[in-house]
Structure 1
Amino acid sequence: MGKGVSRSQVLFMVVTCILVIGNLYYNQPLLGILAREFGVAEKTVSLIPALTLIGYAIGILLLVPLGDMMERRKLLQVSMTAAGSLALAIAFSPNFAVLCALSFVMGFFNVSATVLIPFSANLARPEERGKVVGTVLSGILLGSLMARTLSGFMAQHLGWQSIFIFAGAVNLILALVTQWALPASEPQFHGSYKALLRSTLELIRDFQLVREAAMMGAILFGSFSAFWTTLTFLLEAEPFNYSPQTIGLFGALGMIGALAAPLAGRYADKKGTAATIRLGLYCSMAAFAILALSSTFVVGIILGVLILDLGIQVAHISNQTRMFEISAEARSRLSSIYVFFYFIGGSLGSYIGSQLWSWGKWPAVSLGGLVFCLGASMIFAKGQKIRYFASH
């Protein structure tokens, strides 16, 4: 543990994260197409991204902790094989109910990127852990943004099914390559699966920082998901009337923010995570304030996308990195706690975003996101105060 990780291994983990995390986001630029394809309303079609993220959150809770008690490479291979097979099945969904069910189960098994985060933290030396984790996390961030761009492009030129066929093939190939690209890992938890899950709950009970970081992650990703779920509705309507391919390009804008992930990790290694979390919170609030004023101005939306992605990703990396310092032996369980709350927040954010859109369109979504970020800031400030008084 912590003996160091080679550049080629980090590169493979980054590329893998980019390619597998997209399974969760390919459906978002397609919501308008899928609503017409299956004859459902905008509010109803929003169930697809919500169910995908709920399935993922449950998979995070039940599958990712296994990384502490079984060989992680094998867990990665099983996850990618199952998720790839289900992505292929989604492309041939006969009706909306089957599409929703397959999206949920695919989300449940699509945990390989999240398994890689504690894997990278355990391989890295202590003095480089923030940088390595930040670099691997950048793959997840880039993949989530690239997925929207790629999905929109392929849907317009090859049909909506093409992106899921691509996703299935990529996941199955990566499951094979993982055997040679990554080292075997030694299990660090010796006990039953029931005891493993119980110990995960005990981490939540015993550590205030775990509860704080998890709640902040949930709230911030809720605001992020509310934004991306409803952005499609804004951009395909008047006055923009953008095509799925053009809507997908907005995901590419967010890649600039994602590229800050390794830099945030290095800064956290040197200065601590509190400063980068504050920066992320300030950027996120500023972004939603700009977006609230930009329902008809594409320049404001572009600026808001850039600042929001930067803020959310910087806060996310620092938030998760500080959790890994609690226990080296429990990093898979800590990762599962954080990402479970993170994506429960995301799924609720998708739903709340669609409700806000129905109620007050874009200004309501943007102001809702700003309220979310203010809530996360209050939780962080309270936690800082608790730790200050505990140390004095």
Structure 2
Amino acid sequence: MFSIFANIYLLFMSATTASPQHHQLTPLILWTMTLATGFIVANIYYNQPLLGDIATTFRISNGEAGQIAMFTQIGYATGLLLIIPLADMFKRKRLMLIDLAFVVVALLLAASAQKVWILAVSSLLVGITSVVPQVLVAMAAHLAKPEERGRKIGFIMSGLLIGILVSRTISGFVGEQLGWRAMFYIAAGLMLIMWVLIALVVPEVEPDYKGSYGSLMKSLISIIKEEPKLRLAAFRGALCFACFSAFWTTLVFLLREPPFNEGSAVAGAFGLIGAFGALAASLIGRLSDKANPNQLITYTLVLLLLSFIIFMVFSHSLIGLIIGVILMDMGVQATHISNQAIIFSLNPNARNRINTVYMVSYFVGGSAGTFLASKIWGTYHWAGVCVIGITLSAIVLIVHLIGRAKKGRA
């Protein structure tokens, strides 16, 4: 399989080596990057509506099945830490094409897993290798004009966020009709298509960093120390995504209980509902070019807190859950866009490493949210999940307001 990828890759590269080093972010390139971002990031979330079916297949508890989603998120954080910094060191298109070949292998391994530990390992590998979207987001920031950076990032992020949410709808439907394994086989096919699209359309970007991999990784520590805005954005992102992951990991368990008594298809359909909130990403990107992102974040964090209060009060109402999902996704995704508008303006020569610090924090938070929710579900069920969301969203709002106050006094 890898020899096939290598031969096709050499064919495409031989046709594009004469291209200029400075590229514009044309509509075709932007749309290709957006589509690839959405389809690739979906790999991380396909398993969430399928956890109940996976538990049945392997005869494990819902809490144990929830750990599969946690392994995927831990893998993603690991890939962000170890792979994304390489985009400052190696040619980015080449790095993405090599990575996507491994994504296909990991998805096929997940689809064919006959033991739960094999599924856990393959889920970890799916997470590690599905990091190409973060290279594409940083590439968009590199190729876009400064006055359009927020809008271009917002456009790509709207594709990423819709991919995150619609992936649950697709996997829920496929799981209901064809079984959970079919979803991973389909995902592997989609990755082959994305490989071809990136090879044909996305330009090559030369690296900015000339040192060794060891010094590259050490520079992450220096970046963290030198950039207080990055530290605060990473904290906000981590806690917001912890709330987000706690909700989506356990929603399928809530919907399987009375009074809902629904399966994976309905759980997945909530992702489609949440996509309406994700559509706000493009608007937030435009606003971040003109308004103060920190002020926008204050409002979006309030939406997140409000959503979990609604989940707590209206836990037995589909209408209540729908309203809460829209508010939660608007809050989380808009905060994420504003965070990225802030961090990508810090150091142009280290955008991939800055994004690494932020996104590793983001998915460590997501993994923690998944772990906490899976553990608490067994004892406190939905009420415990809502307490997690309310507590974490209140903490991040308070820390954000304190940070704004200190900045105002500085």
Q: TM-score range by the shorter chain?
A: over 0.9
Taking structure 2 as the reference length, the TM-score comes to: 0.93
Aligned to 1:289: 309
Aligned to 2:240: 220
Shift of 1:176: 2.5
**C-alpha contact (below 8 Å) 1:209/1:383 kept by paired residues:** no
Shift of 1:3: 6.4
Aligned to 1:278: 298
1:150 to 150, 156, 170: 170
Aligned to 2:14: none
Aligned to 1:81: 101
- Please list, as runs of the form range in 1=range in 2, the aligned pairs for 1:1-392 lying within 5 A after superposition: 4-390=24-410
In the TM superposition, what whole-angstrom CA distance separates every residue of 1:351-384 from its partner, at most 9, and x where no partner exists? Answer: 1112222222112211210111111112212221
Distance in 2 (alpha carbons) for counterparts of 1:383 and 1:327: 21
Shift of 1:206: 1.5
Distance in 2 (alpha carbons) for counterparts of 1:217 and 1:112: 19
Runs (4+) off by over 3 Å: 1-4
Taking structure 1 as the reference length, the TM-score comes to: 0.97
**C-alpha contact (below 8 Å) 1:130/1:268 kept by paired residues:** yes
In the TM superposition, what whole-angstrom CA distance separates every residue of 1:221-264 from its partner, at most 9, and x where no partner exists? Answer: 00000000010100011110112112110110000011110100
Aligned length, in residue pairs: 390
Q: Which residue identity lines up with residue 336 of structure 2 in the other structure? A: H
Distance in 1 (alpha carbons) for counterparts of 2:303 and 2:112: 41
Which is worse superposed, 205-214 or 353-362?
353-362
In the TM superposition, what whole-angstrom CA distance separates every residue of 1:68-126 from its partner, at most 9, and x where no partner exists? Answer: 11111111111211112210111100100110011111211111111111010000000
Distance in 2 (alpha carbons) for counterparts of 1:3 and 1:213: 29
Distance in 2 (alpha carbons) for counterparts of 1:372 and 1:78: 37
Shift of 1:270: 0.5
Shift of 1:2: 8.8
Give % identity.
36
Structure 1 residue runs of 5 or longer lacking an equivalent are none
Distance in 2 (alpha carbons) for counterparts of 1:78 and 1:388: 46
Residue 46 of structure 1: SS of its match in structure 2? helix
Distance in 2 (alpha carbons) for counterparts of 1:357 and 1:2: 52
Residue 315 of structure 2: SS of its match in structure 1? coil
The CA RMSD over aligned residues, in Å, is: 1.2
Distance in 2 (alpha carbons) for counterparts of 1:204 and 1:374: 24
Q: Which residue identity lines up with residue 183 of structure 1 in the other structure? A: P
Residue 36 of structure 2: SS of its match in structure 1? helix
Q: Which residue identity lines up with residue 371 of structure 1 in the other structure? A: T
Structure 2 residue runs of 5 or longer lacking an equivalent are 1-20
Distance in 1 (alpha carbons) for counterparts of 2:174 and 2:194: 21
Q: Which residue identity lines up with residue 34 of structure 2 in the other structure? A: V
Residue 367 of structure 1: SS of its match in structure 2? helix
Distance in 1 (alpha carbons) for counterparts of 2:379 and 2:313: 17
**C-alpha contact (below 8 Å) 2:76/2:127 kept by paired residues:** yes
Residue 254 of structure 1: SS of its match in structure 2? helix
**C-alpha contact (below 8 Å) 2:32/2:197 kept by paired residues:** no
